Structure 1
Amino acid sequence: MKLSHRFALRSKLPQAKKFLLLNNRFFQGLIVFIILLLFIFVFSALFNIVWKGIAELAQSIASQEIQFAIRLSLFTSITSTLICIFFALPVAYGLERFNIPGKKLISVILDIPISLPPLVCGVALLLLFGTTEFGTLLAKHGIKFIFSVNGIILAQFFIITPYMIRVLKSTIADINPRLEFVARTLGCSQWQAFCKITLPLAKNGIIAGLVISWARAIGEFGCALMVAGATRMVTETLPVALYLNMAIGDLEMAMASATCLIIISLISLFIFEMVGVRHIPASRIN
């Protein structure tokens, strides 16, 4: 009985292996099909815009309106991104390395702009800097945010800072704190250890955060619309130019603005994927 039982089991093994192989191939095929389906959907939607906008892109870019929108978008997005890294880097480091009371609550509050609709963020900034005593005080000293270029920078900063903090927190979390501790035992202060150890190891993460935050800033519309308005040739960024031209039915100018934004996004995401949030292997030393 034992020999016959073993023989029966051996005869069933090839069939079981074939079944597992077919099952694995079906699973892999299903995953690939879903990937291709989503890829075709996204690619088709974006390619349709680029195909229609690329024909008139050169002529549209030559117009003063699109040139103004490009210049303003670049100026405001670069400015807001630089201000963002100035705040996000120490905040991310402190939340990751220090035992701050209420750290989880602080992290949740700082992440709220990610989950809120941009229009709600814009209303919050509009009320804070427009109707409160704080906003009135700033306006009296010549610092105006409502319906101005400063408002665009403020809105972009408010939206992109949580993204930057998340990327930098993930970057710093992957850097072994023992490396900083060793540097401090060798005579470095905490500031020196941060500058000489943490920053070099976090270089790729910082670059990735800058690129993805800048791309998010240049495409910001809802929050900036509520704070700075949509005045042609005054607060007209590329998203606002798209909105205004679609409103009056000028599809050529609208498609040109959309094409510029898509090209910028593609380049930014390509750089982000190339750099990634990868760190030097020494940062994972235990």
Structure 2
Amino acid sequence: MKSLMNLRRATIGAAFAILLLYGGLIVSLGWFLDAGTIAATVRSERTLFSIRLSLASATLTAMLALLLAVPAAYALSRYRFPGRELIDTLLEFPVVVSPAALGAMLLIFFNNPLGAWIQDYLVRFVFNMAGIVLAQFLTVLGVAVRVLKTSFDDVPAELETVARTLGAPPWYVWTTVTLPLVRRGLIAAFVLSWAKALGEFGATIMVAGTMAMRTETLPIAIYMRLAGADIEGTAALIVILVTLGLTALYAARRLLGRAVLAAD
């Protein structure tokens, strides 16, 4: 019994150590902040543009990520096919390669003949919002697929088999049986992708640059304020970014919790 209590104390202590590490960083911002600084920063036209751009690009990125991640995750969960292990391994590519290196790879791609043709005749990515979305998309796609694959793994394949046995077409089974059963995974994948895209910096700045009122997302705005030695403005922007991200994650947790209660 005593050893069990010691284990409990040690593990709870580790959990509170995490709270102390991250919470301490957030609280430390208060040394450079006051209500006037935050209000002045939020009212800035440049800050408002950065917030709008970040929200728009993160939302579009999360939606595009799910469009590809949902069918890809289902294939990885249900089927065995040539190249499956390679694809599963490459999902960790954004983890192995730093965001800055990923952005540099995109720049290199757009300087080869195919990339230059895409830039000239299809979509211009470099120094444009499309580049922001592309950089964020490549950064969050692996996360979305991983979350959704886990959700599909938890759905018994027998349920789909029974539905098909009763005469339901495969696409009808997928949309009316499988997807509703992974709705919590869909919500979680979207919110995590959105929050990660919102805070993405390295790949974005490499592809889209730091142009004010054009490609300056919130993380880039934070970098630019810090580069200008504006500590108070930097802290205010960090508070805005953290508030947006944590609010979305908290709302998703509450929504997923209600979904579980409704199912029960």
TM-score (norm 2): 0.92
Using a 3 Å threshold, how does the CA distance of structure 1 residues 278 and 182 change in structure 2: closer, same or farther? Answer: farther
- Of residues 123, 132, 139, the one that matches 2:112 is 132
* 2:63 partner amino acid: L
* Residues paired across the two proteins, number: 261
Match of residue 59 from structure 1: 40
Contact 2:198 2:245 in 1 (8 A): no
Q: Tell me the distance in 2 between the aligned counterparts of 1:254 and 1:280.
A: 39
Match of residue 20 from structure 2: 40
Contact 2:32 2:231 in 1 (8 A): no
Match of residue 118 from structure 1: 99
Contact 1:219 1:239 in 2 (8 A): yes
* 2:18 partner amino acid: L
Using a 3 Å threshold, how does the CA distance of structure 1 residues 223 and 50 change in structure 2: closer, same or farther? Answer: farther
Matched, 1:108 2:89: yes
Match of residue 73 from structure 1: 54
Using a 3 Å threshold, how does the CA distance of structure 1 residues 143 and 215 change in structure 2: closer, same or farther? Answer: same
Using a 3 Å threshold, how does the CA distance of structure 1 residues 248 and 226 change in structure 2: closer, same or farther? Answer: same
- Of residues 47, 63, 87, the one that matches 2:68 is 87
Task: Give unpaired runs (5+ residues) of structure 1.
Answer: 1-20
- Of residues 141, 160, 164, the one that matches 1:184 is 164
Between stretches 31-40 and 48-57, larger displacement belongs to 48-57
Deviation at 1:106, TM superposition (A): 1.3
* 2:170 partner amino acid: Q
Deviation at 1:188, TM superposition (A): 1.1
Contact 1:50 1:259 in 2 (8 A): no
- Of residues 205, 210, 214, the one that matches 2:194 is 214
Contact 1:205 1:276 in 2 (8 A): no
Q: Tell me the distance in 1 between the aligned counterparts of 2:34 and 2:164.
A: 56
Match of residue 216 from structure 2: 236
Which has the larger Rg? 1
Using a 3 Å threshold, how does the CA distance of structure 1 residues 54 and 222 change in structure 2: closer, same or farther? Answer: farther
Using a 3 Å threshold, how does the CA distance of structure 1 residues 53 and 187 change in structure 2: closer, same or farther? Answer: farther
Identity %: 33
Deviation at 1:102, TM superposition (A): 2.0
Using a 3 Å threshold, how does the CA distance of structure 1 residues 277 and 191 change in structure 2: closer, same or farther? Answer: farther
* 2:219 partner amino acid: P
